[in-house]
Structures are given as structure tokens and as C-alpha cells.
Amino acid sequence: MQPIRLALAALAIAVTAPSAPAQSWPAREVRIVIGFSAGGTTDIITRSLAPELTRAWGQAIVIENRTGAGGNIGADLVAKSRPDGYTLFMGSVGPLAVNASLYKAMPFDNLKDLSPISFVADVPNMLVFAPRAIPASNFREFLGVVRAAPGKYFYASTGSGTTSHLSGELLKAAAGIDITHVPYKGAVALNDVLSGDNVHFMFATIPSAIQHVRSGKLRAVAVTSLKRSAGVPELPTVAESGFPGFDASSWFGLVGPAGLPREIAQKIAADVARVLKNPEMRERFIGQGADPVGSTPEEFGNHMRAETAKWARLVRESGAKAD
């Protein structure tokens, strides 16, 4: 019986003890790739999270902005990297769900070539414009002004396929308004919205625009989520303003390459969730207009699959295309 007891004891240790990859990771700096430019919401969220993860891991975190193709360039770089946990991607709804149906040819498969790790934050878009560009004080007045001048108004986005683009396309279809999309490469779009010269409005993520709304440089009239945002609870949703079911929110999460060891993905997810539960971090995120989430890799994988299917339907119904 003694050999059997020893074998069972060894099995128990093997089941409960962390695996070797998880125990030794990270042994060096970790690179987090971002598919959009500095100053945008993906960048803001990543740089808010990075110092806390640096403390948790005892290793430096290098943030690298690889912009272009609606986030696809950065995501593809990570999808083709070594699955050892040292190259991660802070993705958004675009490259992790929308682009699969928006682009004719994708360099990677969002559900097969990436390993879900953690759902980090949910972030509604906010309809904003410079007061001098559009003389409106609420969403109903905004629609009235735009309807009265078909073809006159141009809306900016952070790139084709982003929810700032698709929010405009969905409103265009739902409200029957004649507006023109102008894609930019990342958060620089907001600069032209602030001036009101070349583009007139934008569905911007709350963290990227909230400071300008608070200063009075921009006016916000609605958010694109089904529920009001904790960051700007005074703003109505588009859904409650006459378009039931309107939902074009952004969200952000960490992924790695396919084949990332499960134990490493679970460790990263647990550390991210712990950081996001910190009251100070939660307050910081909500103050910026981002609702912190935190999840297991399995939960985030389910979310990515559901969102990929949802956006495929919305892209088809709206007729949106990557420019």
C-alpha cells in the first residue's frame, strides 16, 4: 500500500502546485502591444494598468504602439509572436471582434490565432462636437440640425472598423441621416473635432474626450451603450433617445498568441482582476469613463465569440465597409 500512497500524494501535489511555466513567469520584461496611437483609450487604459502590473510581476512592462488597419497590424504582430507570455496585445472590440466581418482579408483569425486572457474594461462611446460646429444642446437638437442639411456634416473616427466608425454608420441607418465618414489613424481624430473645421462630430470613447467635455471645448449629448455610463450618468443613451436596442460600445482586453500556456494566461488574468478590484484603480477608471471588469480567460473567450457574431450581424445590416 505504501507505493500507492506515495503515488497518490505525488498526484495531489502535481494537481495543486503551480506549473513550471507559471512559477517562472515573468523572468524578464513583458511587452504589451497597442494597435492604436498614443493618447487614445487603448493607450490610456494600458498605461493606467501597467504600473500596478509592474509591481505585481517585479518586471518592467514595455508598451509599444503599432498603429494601422483598425488595430489589425498590432494584433497580427502578437498573433505571430512566440506564445511565451512576453508579448501581449491590449486589444479593443475592433481587432478582437468587429474586423473579422468588416475587412475582406484579415491577416489573422481573431478566434483561432489569439489566446484570450482578460476582459479589462467596458467603455461606451460618447457623441461629441464643438459647440461652434453644431448649434445643438441635446441629442434631439443634434439630429434636427444634421437632418436639415443633408451631406453637409462629416464625422471623424479613430479608423475604419472601430466602434467610433460603426456608431456613426448605425446612427446613419437608424435615423436616416446623410453624413460622411472621415477615418483617422487613432486619437488624432479628436483634434480636428475640437477645431470643428474639417469634421463636425465624433463618437469618441469617454476616456479620450471627457477632459474636453468638462472644460467646455466639446459638448456631449449621448452615449452608445444600452445603459448609462457610471462615468457620465447624466448623459442619456442613444437607445433611450428614440432608438431602442442601439448598442455600439467599445471594450478592451488582453490577449496573447494562440498556444499561450493556460497557466500563464490564468496568472495574468488573476493579477489583472486583482488590480482592477483595487478601489483607487476602480475610481480612476470610472472617473475616465471606463467601467473596469476583470475576468477569467474562458469568460473573455466567450465574450469575444459572442461579440464577433453580434458585430457580423450589425456590419451586415448597416452596410459598413473598411475604407
Q: What is the pTM of this model?
A: 0.81
Cβ 156 vs Cβ 128: under 8 Å: no
Q: Specify the pLDDT at position 188.
A: 86
Q: Specify the pLDDT at position 231.
A: 86
Tens digit of pLDDT at every position of the chain (323 positions): 454 444 444 444 444 444 556 679 999 999 999 998 888 889 999 999 999 999 999 999 999 999 988 899 999 999 999 999 999 999 999 999 999 999 989 999 999 999 999 999 999 999 999 999 999 999 999 999 999 999 999 999 988 778 888 899 999 999 999 999 999 887 789 999 999 989 999 999 898 899 999 999 999 999 999 999 988 999 999 999 999 999 988 899 999 999 999 999 999 999 999 999 999 999 999 988 899 999 999 999 999 999 999 999 888 877 777 75
Cβ 38 vs Cβ 64: under 8 Å: no
Question: Which sign, positive or negative, has the C-alpha torsion 25, 275, 263, 75?
Answer: negative
Q: Where in the chain is the domain with CATH 3.40.190.10?
A: 125-241
CA angle, 208 as apex, 210 and 307 as ends, to 5°?
110
The alpha-carbon radius of gyration of the chain (Å, integer) is 21
Question: Can you spell out the DSSP letters for 67-133?
Answer: --GGGHHHHHHHHTS-SSSSEEEEEEHIIIIIHHHHSSS-SS-TTTSEEEEEEEEEE-EEEEE-TTT
CATH 3.40.190.150 is the classification of domain 28-123+250-318: yes
Cβ 259 vs Cβ 83: under 8 Å: yes
Q: Specify the pLDDT at position 2.
A: 52
Cβ 95 vs Cβ 35: under 8 Å: yes
The three three-digit cell numbers of residue 11, written as one number: 498526484
Q: Report the 10 Å Cβ neighbour count for 8.
A: 10
Which of 5, 56, 66, 1 has the alpha carbon at shortest distance from 33? 66
CATH of domain 125-241: 3.40.190.10
Q: Where in the chain is the domain with CATH 3.40.190.150?
A: 28-123+250-318
d(CA 48, CA 41): 10
